[in-house]
Chains A and B, each alone.
Chain A
Amino acid sequence: MRRLSYGQAISEATVQCMEADPNIFVTGIGVDDFKGIFGTTAEAFRRFGPARVFDIPNGENAMTGIAIGAAAAGKRPLVVHPRNDFMFLCMDQLFNLAAKWRYMFGNRGGVPVVFRGIVGRGWGQGATHSQSLQALFAHFPGLYVGLPASPADAKGLLVSALRGSGPVVLLENRALYELEGEVPETLEAIPFGKGRVVRPGTDVTIVGISLMAYEAARAAEILVDHNVSAEVIDLRSVRPLDDEIILRSLRKTGRLVVADTSWALCGVSAEVAAIAAEKGWHYLKAPVRRVTPPDCPAPVSKPLEDAFHPNPMTIAQACLDVLKAGAPLGTGVADVQASFAGPY
């Protein structure tokens, strides 16, 4: 199968969906500029022009409401936020209206609005440009929340979103944009609420989302050298959340490590641990371990930043700890963005 980068897969899904459905339009700050949101909207703008791909004034809350109102009149807006941190400014429209529309207005239909939010990582972006907001979005009934970790999923989840009937938030980690992988040339939807076994294993289950699914796979490689067989699960979406795939794996391994790009308290890692405790208690041979950023905002300085983000070594170490199998690993694996030279 032909290979694309994660960013190219998003661009291709956008263009193909827009060809198939004339009601789709793309908006957001800078979607039509020379950078085209890291290249993901540039081809759509070239192909469909300013009638269907257009810039929008700042004002994220109004922007969200405008998308909802267009959707209520039959359109399918795709709104892009170059950093998901700005989506804090959309929360009223997103949570109080879009998520509740179908239920609160008598189940006559939802509003098919799709929001892409890009999560910054590394290179000193700091406290307000490198948060990953999945726990926040996941809390609200009525939303779909997806976090693709591979090029194929980046395309497939966006196809699902642009064909679906309800509001969707897709969070894309910037560190994944250059990642390449096989991507189907046709439009194949990947449903929300279905995880993916990235790599089968027997000793320990590592559940990851977004970039942490990728990092968990790298951790599993490290663990091979320690005679540990790790099964890596990529949740792909956190609302709905595929608890079956977690429980199936736990039944086999009896041990669970959860890796998340965001904080532990009330985070998605806590939710996964709760599923294990409520529904998988009898499978567990050891306490659940979570690997998350420490309980502080994202720093800027390089040594602090290196210590902030979970990485394959910290995930692998957690697995060895759970298995009570071996000495500390220390550091020694290349950062996922080691070759990145900025600027964003």
Chain B
Amino acid sequence: MTIGTSEQLLRDMVRIRRIEETLADLYPSQEMRTPTHFSIGQEAVAVGVCSALRRTDAVYSGHRCHAHYLAKGGDLGGMVAELYGRETGCARGRGGSVHLNDPDAGVVASSAILGQTMAVAVGTALAFVMDGRDDVAVTFFGDGTVEEGIFHETLNFAVMRRAPVLFVCENNGFSTHTRLEVRQPASVPIHVRGGSYGMPSRLVDGNDVFAVQEAAREAVAHCRRGAGPFFLECTTYRWREHVGPLWDYDKGYRSKAEVDSWIARCPIRRAADRLATTPARLAALERECQLEVDAAVAAARTAPFPAVEDLTLGTY
């Protein structure tokens, strides 16, 4: 691994962090009116996995989709304008935060219903095979999705058809406010359940972007050479509230000590330490990214809203 590509991973995480923290700061002004699930603290999974992909690979995500969209190359201006409900949004103000998409960048769809895009990614992978393409489809989902029926239906089908699909479970330990240990049997970890369907499966430290990248490269190579699906469980942690811009360690379902212990394992700080990035260099990266997001916010705030005459446009 060269220093140049390594710093790119750091920079991609810093960029997502600056974007999301800026949007979180602006949220209380009520100009963005769409339920938003921030990925702050979870950036390494998105960045590590997407660094192993090429533009023509397809990415699908769920409700917490900002980081995946940005890491895959989704247009920042389109995302911010979407949150502001503008016609220039990536879904023209019809989709909102949980339905980000940018087909040109290979971000095909995101959806707020658990597990929905797992199956859809497999269908896209199947189409790639039918067309003789060696592209790969990736679906990001959370630990909550593991409890859904479609999780099992989808893994079963993907293995039976050797679909070139990478399943990435971002295990942040919570489904909304409910802890994993009261939802799923601790004796069978998620990556074991994924692997039990007959595909290679790995457990990765989801706050170590280099470990995620290494695992994703192995997984993507496996899918690309026609060897079937691959399952990655990436452990990580959500810093902010389930939905919304605030901190919520005072609400009783988790402690400040727990949140702090994960902040101590911040994926950006860990990558910067590993790369021996100087504070000055990190600050410079942050400034660069801040300029970009500030410009996107300014553009979104002055962009037109969709015309009310176009309310039903796009239904058919």
Contacts and interface: CB of A to CB of B under 8 A. Distances in A.
Given A61-B150, A69-B124, A107 B157 contact: no
Contacts of B312: 141
A71 B103 CA distance: 13
A71 B119 CA distance: 12
A64 B154 CA distance: 11
- B contact face: mostly helix, strand, loop, or mixed: helix
Interface in A57-84: 57-59, 61-75, 77
B149 A61 contact: yes
Given A69-B126, A74-B131, A105-B101, A62 B157 contact: yes
B113 A105 contact: no
**Residue among B121, B127, B157 facing the most chain A CB atoms (10 A cut-off):** B127
A61 B114 CA distance: 12
Contact of A56 (B58, B101, B157): B157
Interface in B137-178: 137, 149-150, 152-154, 156-157, 160
Given A62-B154, A69-B137, A108-B103, A102 B122 contact: no
A159 B297 CA distance: 47
Contacts of B90: 106
Interface residues of B, number: 44
A88 interface: no
Contacts of B58: 73
B91 A69 contact: no
A89 to B, nearest CB: 9
Interface in A99-118: 101-108, 110
B315 A69 contact: no
B73 interface: no
Interface stretch (B92-100, B232-240, B242-250): B92-100
A267 interface: no
Contacts, number: 139
A93 interface: yes
B157 A66 contact: yes
Interface residues of A, number: 38
Contact of A67 (B103, B123, B131, B154): B123
Nearest to B130: A75
Contacts of B109: 72, 97, 101, 105
A92 interface: yes
Contacts of B116: 65, 92-93, 96-97
Given A70-B123, A105-B91, A105-B95, A57 B101 contact: no
B314 interface: yes
A106 B79 CA distance: 12
A61 B99 CA distance: 20
Interface string A128-143: 0000000000000110
A92 B153 contact: no
Contacts of B314: 102-103, 106-107
Interface string A306-338: 000000000000000000000000000000000
A141 B311 CA distance: 13
B128 interface: yes
Nearest to A98: B120
Nearest to B313: A107
Interface of A: 25, 51, 56-59, 61-75, 77, 92-93, 96-97, 101-108, 110, 141-142, 166
16 contacts: A57-B156, A61-B150, A62-B154, A63-B157, A65-B116, A66-B157, A67-B123, A68-B120, A69-B108, A69-B124, A74-B131, A97-B116, A106-B89, A106-B91, A107-B92, A107-B314
